[in-house]
Amino acid sequence: MEIKGEDFLVTFNEPKAAVEFFGTIRLRDSLDYKGISDLLEMACQRVPGELNMDFRNLQFLNSAGINTISKFVIVARGRENLHLKVMGNKQIAWQAKSLRNLQKLWPKVAIEIS
């Protein structure tokens, strides 16, 4: 499954148990992010064990997008058998700080910034 916009692509790769983000996401509000939110929820339901969220190719995510990801982490922490791994790119300034903040919502989130 994928969500495609003018400047972005979000894919769910079930064999890799990964949601991958590409491009620049600047949607207006939570309603505009509903497709991405639905994709994340579907991935969470289909993947037993570890779900990887790969932001390494995402150049920009606005505050509404970060809020959507944060809400997903809050929902995901309620899934007993789910482990969440978040991957970021140290070359992209917003990722180190914003992605690490997800651990404040769920300390068990594994963060890998490389």
**So where are the chain's domains?**
2-113
CATH fold group of domain 2-113: Transcription Regulator spoIIAA (3.30.750)
E-assigned strand segments in 1-114: 2-4, 8-13, 18-25, 49-61, 82-88, 110-113
- Please write the tens of the pLDDT for every residue from 57-113: 999 999 999 999 999 999 999 998 899 999 999 999 999 999 999 999 999 999 999
Task: Tell me the C-alpha distance between 22 and 54, whole Å.
Answer: 9
What is the value of pTM for the model shown? 0.95
